[in-house]
Amino acid sequence: MTILNIPATSSTPEVDYNILNDVQRITGVSTPIDSVEFYSPMINWINQNANYLKENCVFEFELNYFNSSSMKALVWLLQQIEEMILNGKTWSICWVIVEDDEFMEEAAEAMQTLLEIPVIVARRA
C-alpha cells in the first residue's frame, strides 16, 4: 500500500499520502467522533512505508479547525513521526496556518512544546 488517499468529508480532512510525493498532506477540518480510528491508518502507513519515503519528505498539516480529540490524535501521529526522525529519518514536519488564526498558532505552540524535533510553522494568506 504505497498510496493512502482519503477524500475529505464534512468532518474529516483530506489525506494525500503517497511515497512518490515530496510532501505528505493532511488538509481540511477535523471533527470526527473517533479520531483514533481516523488517524490510525496514517500511522500504519508511515510505519509500513518508512523506508520507501523520499529522503527529505515533509509531513504537512493544514487544518482549518479541529476538535480537541483530533488535537490529541495529531499529537500521537506527530510523535510517531518524531520517533522515526529521532532514529535517523531526515523528514520534517510543517504546520500550516491559514490567515492569522490564533488557535492554530497556539496548537502549533503546544505541538512544539510536546515534540523534541522542530515544527516548521508556515503562514498562508
Partner 1 sequence: MRYLLFILFTIGASSVSLSQPTDSLQWAERKIVSAYELFGDEKYNSAEELGLKILAFADRHYEQLILARASALLSELNRTQGRYLDAIEYSIIGIENSKYLSPEVYLTNSLSQVRCLDELEIWDRNIDLCDDLKSQMSASASINERASVHYYLAKALIGINRYDLAYKEISGLLSRGDFKNLDSPFLKDNILELEIDYLVHENQLDLAKRKILDLIISVEFYNKTEYLAHLYQKVAGICSDMGSFQDALFYYNKAMSFAPNDFLRKSLILIGRSQVYIQANSLDLALIELEKALDAAEVLNNSFIKSLAYGLMARINGDKGFLSIALIDAQKGLEQAKAIDDLPLQLEINELIRDLHKANQSMEKVKESQKICNDLKSKILGELDKKRTQKAELILRIRNKELTTLSKIQSQRNERLLLNQQLSKAKEEQRYIELKLSNELIVQNEVNAREKAISELRLLQSAHESDLQRLQIIELEKIKVKEALRINELSNAQIEKEKNIEILRQSNENLIKADQIKQLELDQQETQRIYGIVFTIVLLGIVVILIFFLGSLRKKNRIIRSNSQEISHFNTELKEKNFEIVSGIEYASKFQEIIFPNESIINGRGLEGFVLHRALDLVSGDLPFVLKMDGYTYVAAVDCIGHGVSASMLSIMTYFNLNDIIKSGESKNCSDILQNLHQRLINRKEQEDFKSIIVSVDVALVRIPHFESKVQFAGANLPLIIKRKNGVELIKGTPISIGEAHGRKQFKFNHLDIDLSVGDEIYLFSDGFFHQFGGVDLKQKLSKKRTLDFVQKMDQENFKNRKKEVTDFFDHWRANAPQTDDMVFIGLKYASSDAPIVFQFSGRIDETVNAKMINELKQLIQKELNDKKSSSLMLMASIELLDNALRYSSNSSVEIQVRDLGDKLRLVVSNQAMEEDFNKLNHAILHYAQLTNPEMEDLYLAKLNHSAFNNRGGAGLGLLQLIRKGIQFENISSDIVKDKLIKFSVTVNFKK
What residues make contact with partner 1 under the rule CB under 8 A?
A: 9-11, 29, 31-37, 65-69, 71-73, 75, 101-103, 110, 113-114
The grid coordinates of residue 120 equal 516548521
Instruction: Supply the minimum distance, in Å, between the C-beta of residue 9 and partner 1.
Output: 7
Instruction: Supply the minimum distance, in Å, between the C-beta of residue 71 and partner 1.
Output: 7
Pick 53 or 119: Cβ nearer partner 1:
119
d(CA 29, CA 34): 14
Instruction: Supply the minimum distance, in Å, between the C-beta of residue 118 and partner 1.
Output: 18
Angle (deg, nearest 10), helices 68-86 and 102-114? 40
Strands (E), 1-125: 3-6, 14-18, 23-30, 58-66, 92-98, 119-124
Instruction: Supply the minimum distance, in Å, between the C-beta of residue 96 and partner 1.
Output: 17
Pick 19 or 66: Cβ nearer partner 1:
66
The grid coordinates of residue 93 equal 514536519
